[in-house]
Each structure stands twice: as structure tokens, then as C-alpha cells.
Structure 1
Amino acid sequence: MCGAPPRAPRCTAAGAPCPGCGAWSARVHGSYVRFPADVPSGGRSVVLRLRVRRFTCRNAECGRRTFVEQIPGLTRRHGQRTERLCSTLAAIGLALAGRAGARLANIFGAPVSRSTVLRLVDALPEPEVPAPRVLGVDEYATRKGRYYGTVLVDVETRRPVDLLPDRESSSLAAWLAQRPGIEVVCRDRAPFFAEGAAVGAPQAVQVADRWRLWHNLSEAAERSIAQHRQCLRVLVPETPGTPETESDPAEESSGSPRPTSHRFADRTRTMHVTIHDLVKAGHSRRAIQRQLGNDKPNRQTVRGRRQAGRPLHRPVAGPDLGPRQVQDIP
């Protein structure tokens, strides 16, 4: 014959403060049993059986008539888990995020959903991030081409510090004005970042980031080599017995600061000649488009090649050619 179940443990405190007004009360209104989940033991789920008391608030002006006592470090209001289990799941969520964290929690005996893991992580207080000494400023896109924001990174620790909802100079200046300890601002060449850094942190030195320096250097070297590639051929020694190769007229007439693709130029000339031969044979634009086979140019391309006296190269841009100009291929 089974005996009566053991009595649930209870708190031995004489009373509890009201969470609404803070008044101390020792007048018990009633009690009930709570079953908060605790940290698993040996891969098995652990559930506590705890009897808590409900006290009556003695303050007549308080909006709460009754309240339930909470055990510090163990329970919280409306909580189904102990503080230890919540801290453990939050640490797992910080390391693995929601879906992977929920799978790991199920393995060691604390079944939980990925939404709960993310909710526990979101409930954590914001960590105190020290003001960086070297700040990196760049833009990010929530929708590329339309909506942009500003990302702020601690260059020394390589960790993000904050995200601004836009890339206006006023937002950056207001953020920098609250952190006077910034000594260096590493940014790109955007004018709004330069203005915001100058207004918000006039004591800081503005420098270009490493990627921009290497990128600008590579572009300048590419333009210089493209403009002086004829001079580089003189430096190449001629091999005995090998006839000297003739220079490509397309390269000599090209004033583009960027290298020209010979394969694209040959394909353009071939298409130009083919289209003009088909036009002389009396074919329409639609028939020419069908007969070109794998190239499959659209009707506008066929019309442009048909009206052009010489094959046209793709538009190029550069400091020597202007914003966009069409370059001829002989």
C-alpha cells in the first residue's frame, strides 16, 4: 500500500516584498505548488516540486491585492524554468543560435524550441561595450540599391560595435559625440562619413581603410599598365627564329584605360560582317536573329549592327574617354 506523497519543499522566509510598491508583507493569502524545470542531471530532465505562498499587500494604494513570493536565484515571475536553466539555455543560444542550440539542448535533456532559445537570448541585458579607440565606419544594405545603414566596427578587436539605421552624417556625428575617446576613424571616401566624423569627433584622425588603399592602388596600376602596354612590349626580348608579331590595330586605335578583350572584339567583327551579309541577301531582322544560332542577339542588337558602318565595341568608361563613350573596332 503506497503512502501519501512527500510534502513539497517551501521557502522559510517570514514574508516577501510586494513587486508593485515594495511594501513588506507577511500575511499569507494562500499557497500552491509550482513545477519549474531545472538543469538536467545525467541526461534526464529535472523538474522541481516547490510550494510557494501568495501574500496580501497591506498598502491600500497599491494596485496589487495579492502577490506570489519568488525565491532569489531560483524562480522568477511567470517563469517555467529556473534561473540556472535559463542561463544555460541563453549561453547555448549565444554560441549556436536558435536551431542548432535547440538540437543540443534536446540531446542533454532540456527539450526546448528554437524560438524559446532566441527569446532567452533576446531577454539578456545589453553588454557594456567599451568605447573603441580606432573606429571603422562603413555602409551596409538592408535592400541593395535602396536602403542603406551604417555599421561601426572596433578595428582593434574586429568586432561590430553598433548599427545605425541610415548613413546620414548627422546620425554618425551624434553617435561619435557621445564617445569622446575615439582617436582614429577608419572610413571609405564617402562624403557623408567624412562630414559626420569631422563634426562628431573633431579630435580624431580620419584615415582610409586598408581594403580601399589596396583597391585604389590596383585600379591605378591596371590603368597605368593598360595605357603603356605598347612600351612594355619593347622590354620583352625577341626569341631567335620567331617572327615578330604584328601589333593588333584594335589595340593601337584603342584609347581605353582598361585592357580590351580580343575574343570579344573578334566576335563583334564576325557578327557585324554576318549581319551585313544577311541584310544584302534580303533577310529581315527576325530571320537574321534566327540564323545567327548560338549568339542569339536581340532585335535591337541586330538593328544597331545593321545601321553601323563599322563594328562597335561595348561602351567603356574612364578619365580619358569621359563618362560613357562608344569605341570603334576597325
Structure 2
Amino acid sequence: MSRLRILDLPRSLVVRRVVALDNRVEIAVGLRKRSVLCPDCQCPTQRIHSFYQRKLADLPWQGRPATLIVSVPRFFCQAAVCPRRTFVMPLDGIAVRHGRQTTRLTDLHYYIAHTLGGSAGARMTVRLCCPISPDTLIRRLLSRARNARKDMPPTRVVGVDDWAWRRGHHYGTIVVDLEKNDVIDLLPDREAATLAQWLQAHPGVEIIARDRAGAYADGCHRGAPSALQVTDRWHLLKNLSEAFVSILGRFTTTVRTLTRQLSASTTLSETSGTVRTQPEEAQTLIRSVSGERRETLFNEALALKAEGHSIQAIATTIGVERKTVRRWFQRGHAPTWK
């Protein structure tokens, strides 16, 4: 079996020598191809000007880091009308221009970063004998994403919503391709100017499903005036549920009375003819205790508000969500039903 097959190198390479050192493996290789096309005039040439060496980090071999030492030829362009006199043979399929590692090692780092992220991925590369820093892993991931985005067709249908850089403190804007169900971009804030600038840079957007915020409406009008704006399903359901809860909150006494009447009514079973009564006294007791607890928390919240505490401080003190405290104050009473 040839050394090329054992080392699993591309067939365009010729192995000259393999040096196994204590902490690494060095593989000296050359290129099989001896005729190339000039990148400017596309004329073929075989006339070699000189050679230079490129050192490329490669996949580890037998638990040791491996380095390819590639002897790369520089050619003369023999076309008299071509302005380029010499050029270097590209390492297509082996390494990118000015790269310091092989493409297959870059692919390995990308998959590790995609699976484990930066810090955990960097620890894994140390165990795999191809160490790399967490920041470089993330750069590999972002570079692959940018290159893939360049090859994608223009985005037609996007979703725009807010998201938290830090919940309760700093919010930004997330832009999603709704046709591919893929996140396109994360904007630093929720300002109309930021969204308008992004839409102007992506003129192919035709439909925008957006948040209810007025800043998003303004940004969509300014950045994509011809795009159709719609409210997405989640916000439609949220609007409906909030309106429903708000209406029921005004008639809690009536709802409670109707619930008791329905609970006290008996239904005749068609199969056995037995009579069932719902619910049991335990359920009524649980509801009563829960109502008293909410009323106590509401009174504590009112007392803290009178002392000048913020909603966030009140929520932290009594142990409920900040949105819940704000909703209690808007209604003027604690909810009395579940």
C-alpha cells in the first residue's frame, strides 16, 4: 500500500518523505500537476520559474500533530501579450490562498465549533492534537456562515422581532428567513433607523412579519416601503389571549358565580345511570388558599409601591415576575381566578 493511501492525502500530491518526530509528524510533498493555466490570459504553460515551500497544518496522525511541507512551483506565463510574467500554482482542494492549514483541517475545526462552540471546542481540539483558540473557532464558524449566505438567493419573506441580549436590560432585533426557518441577522437595538438600514441593504424583501412595536412599523416603512407587512401568528394569538384575559378580569365575580353554579350541577351518566358531582371540596379549598396567597402578595406589592420601590425591586422582594406585578397594578387588584 502506498504512503499516499496510508496518510490519506489528496491524489494531487506526491509524498517525498515522512519524518516522525517526538511531538509531531512532518510530511514533505510535491504536486503531480506540471501544466497549469495562467490566471489572467488562461494560456497553458509548463515552464517553471522556481519553487517555494508552504507549511500547512493538517489532520493529526497517530496522536501527533501533522504538518504538510508542500513544494509549490511558480510558473512563467509564455503569452507575449499577457501582463503577468509569473504566477504560483493554486492548491485547489488542499488549502485556500494564504491559508496556514489544509481545508480538511479547517472543516474539522468548523464541525467542532458548530457542535461544541468556542471554549469547549478548543478543549476538544487539544485532545485531538490539532489545538486552536476559542476565538479562532468562532471565526471559522462565522466565516463559513458568511460564505454560505453569499451563495443564497435573496431573502423574500422575513420575520422581525425583539430578543434579549440581557433579559430585562438590553434588547436587540432578530431577523429570520421564514421560508428557510433560519436566523439571518441580529441587530444591536430595536430602533427604527437600524431596521430601516438593514432592509435597505436587502432590497429583495417582499413580505415582513413583524412585532407590534411602532419602531418596527416605522423602520419597515422607511426601509422597505413596497414590502407587505403582516402580523405573525404568535402575535395574533397573543393579542387575542390578552384581550380575552382583560375582559374576563373585569367580570371575575360573574365568572366565579357561574363556575360555582356549573360545578354544583349534576350530570346523569348515560352508560351507568349514576350521578356525578364536580368538583370535590378539596378543589374549592385549594382555590381559596391560592386566592388568599395572591391577595396577600398584592397587598405587599402595594405597600412596597407606596414606599417608592421600583417594579423590578417589588418583583424581586415578593418573588413573582416583573410582568405580573405590572399587570396587577394595571388592573388594580390581584387575579381572583385561575
Assess same fold via TM > 0.5. Answer: yes
Which of 186, 208, 217 is residue 194 of structure 1 equivalent to? Answer: 217
Backbone CA RMSD of aligned residues: 4.9
User: Relative to 1, partners in 2 of residues 1:239 and 1:73: Cα closer, same or farther, differing over 3 Å?
Assistant: closer
The correspondence of residues 307-318 of structure 1 with structure 2, limited to 5 A, is 317-318=329-330
Deviation of the 1:80 alpha carbon: 3.4
User: Relative to 1, partners in 2 of residues 1:9 and 1:163: Cα closer, same or farther, differing over 3 Å?
Assistant: closer
Q: Distance in 1 between matches of 2:298 and 2:93?
A: 75
% of aligned pairs identical? 35
1:48 aligns to 2:71 (yes or no): no
Partner of 2:114: 94
Note if contact 2:17-2:29 (Cα within 8 Å) is conserved in structure 1: no
Q: Deviations over 1:104-138 (max 9, x none)?
A: 43444433333332333344443234334432112
Which of 92, 96, 102 is residue 82 of structure 1 equivalent to? Answer: 102
1:36 aligns to 2:56 (yes or no): yes
Which of 109, 126, 135 is residue 147 of structure 2 equivalent to? Answer: 126
Which of 231, 242, 253 is residue 208 of structure 1 equivalent to? Answer: 231
Note if contact 2:29-2:68 (Cα within 8 Å) is conserved in structure 1: no
| Range with bigger deviation, 136-145 or 89-98 | 136-145
Partner of 2:195: 172
Aligned residues: 253
Deviation of the 1:318 alpha carbon: 3.7
Note if contact 2:110-2:137 (Cα within 8 Å) is conserved in structure 1: yes
Aligned partner of residue 262 in structure 1, secondary structure: helix
List alignment gaps of at least 5 residues for structure 2: 1-15, 19-27, 78-85, 266-280, 282-291, 309-324, 334-338
User: Relative to 1, partners in 2 of residues 1:230 and 1:172: Cα closer, same or farther, differing over 3 Å?
Assistant: same
The correspondence of residues 138-157 of structure 1 with structure 2, limited to 5 A, is 138-142=161-165, 148-157=171-180
Q: What residue identity is the alignment partner of 1:185? A: I
User: Relative to 1, partners in 2 of residues 1:16 and 1:116: Cα closer, same or farther, differing over 3 Å?
Assistant: farther
Aligned partner of residue 105 in structure 2, secondary structure: helix
User: Relative to 1, partners in 2 of residues 1:132 and 1:99: Cα closer, same or farther, differing over 3 Å?
Assistant: same
Q: What residue identity is the alignment partner of 1:157? A: K
Note if contact 1:18-1:25 (Cα within 8 Å) is conserved in structure 2: no
Q: Distance in 1 between matches of 2:160 and 2:191?
A: 12
Q: Distance in 1 between matches of 2:39 and 2:203?
A: 42
Partner of 1:281: none
User: Relative to 1, partners in 2 of residues 1:216 and 1:17: Cα closer, same or farther, differing over 3 Å?
Assistant: same
Deviation of the 1:174 alpha carbon: 4.3
Which of 241, 255, 263 is residue 232 of structure 1 equivalent to? Answer: 255
Q: Deviations over 1:188-240 (max 9, x none)?
A: 22122112323443443322233333333333222222211222344223969
Q: Distance in 2 between matches of 1:184 and 1:127?
A: 23
Q: Distance in 2 between matches of 1:226 and 1:299?
A: 24
Q: Which is higher, the Rg of structure 1 or of structure 2?
A: 1
User: Relative to 1, partners in 2 of residues 1:70 and 1:101: Cα closer, same or farther, differing over 3 Å?
Assistant: same
Q: Distance in 1 between matches of 2:35 and 2:197?
A: 51
Q: Distance in 2 between matches of 1:317 and 1:206?
A: 33
Q: Distance in 2 between matches of 1:166 and 1:267?
A: 35
Aligned partner of residue 138 in structure 2, secondary structure: helix
Partner of 2:11: none
User: Relative to 1, partners in 2 of residues 1:225 and 1:126: Cα closer, same or farther, differing over 3 Å?
Assistant: same
Q: What residue identity is the alignment partner of 1:87? A: D
Q: What residue identity is the alignment partner of 2:186? A: L
Aligned partner of residue 222 in structure 1, secondary structure: helix
Q: What residue identity is the alignment partner of 1:159? A: D
Deviation of the 1:82 alpha carbon: 1.9
User: Relative to 1, partners in 2 of residues 1:155 and 1:9: Cα closer, same or farther, differing over 3 Å?
Assistant: closer
User: Relative to 1, partners in 2 of residues 1:85 and 1:232: Cα closer, same or farther, differing over 3 Å?
Assistant: closer
1:184 aligns to 2:217 (yes or no): no
The correspondence of residues 9-20 of structure 1 with structure 2, limited to 5 A, is 9-11=29-31, 13=34
Aligned partner of residue 117 in structure 2, secondary structure: helix
Note if contact 1:40-1:109 (Cα within 8 Å) is conserved in structure 2: yes
Greater share of residues in helix: 2
Q: What residue identity is the alignment partner of 2:56? A: P
Q: Distance in 2 between matches of 1:206 and 1:32?
A: 58
List alignment gaps of at least 5 residues for structure 1: 58-65, 243-258, 272-296, 302-313, 326-330
Aligned partner of residue 131 in structure 1, secondary structure: coil
Aligned partner of residue 229 in structure 2, secondary structure: strand
TM normalised by structure 1 equals 0.55
Partner of 2:319: none
1:262 aligns to 2:295 (yes or no): yes
Deviation of the 1:81 alpha carbon: 1.9
